[in-house]
Chain A
Amino acid sequence: GAGVSQSPRYKVAKRGQDVALRCDPISGHVSLFWYQQALGQGPEFLTYFQNEAQLDKSGLPSDRFFAERPEGSVSTLKIQRTQQEDSAVYLCASSLDGAAPYNEQFFGPGTRLTVL
């Protein structure tokens, strides 16, 4: 269908609150990625799914971060007990098959999280 969508586009949270960020990948895309982009920086890898399997979560900065993709389509990134350093844009990308080296990743518009 259409491109990758993410919701909400903007989220303001008080420090200590839990937040959930949603990503709807392109229909039929097997692979899904989450990236974190701090202000003035390039994105950094957080985690990767192949269908419903989370194959790599090495980029998650702490155990407060949790991602899931239970049915191999929509994914949710959850951040517990948010801290100010979590403020960033969270980008989701999908690809036909992330393991295939030449497949392009397609990005959503991102969710801008601000923690007060």
Chain B
Amino acid sequence: EPEVTQTPSHQVTQMGQEVILRCVPISNHLYFYWYRQILGQKVEFLVSFYNNEISEKSEIFDDQFSVERPDGSNFTLKIRSTKLEDSAMYFCASTPKGTVKQFFGPGTRLTVL
């Protein structure tokens, strides 16, 4: 069964550095999402993306964050000038046209030191 994949599984970075988290959504899916989960807390929506543009973003998704679909397969989340509080698990999800179920990737654990 097709799956959403994410790389890396764990990223450690120094405060102030930029990181790029990568996702490969399921191939025929059209809607893409990023969520984050701070350790022990609930899953929070960051951004949704459709037709090569952001369709919705949360208050968390400020100028520090950006998303891109640089080619036909990858979907990336860039975090500029990382802060300690950016440490979390970041999940990518995708949805095909015509259904509502979101398929989640395995997540990238980001640790900011």
* B and A form one assembly: no
Binding site for B on A (CB under 8 A): none
Residues in chain B within 8 A of chain A (CB atoms): none
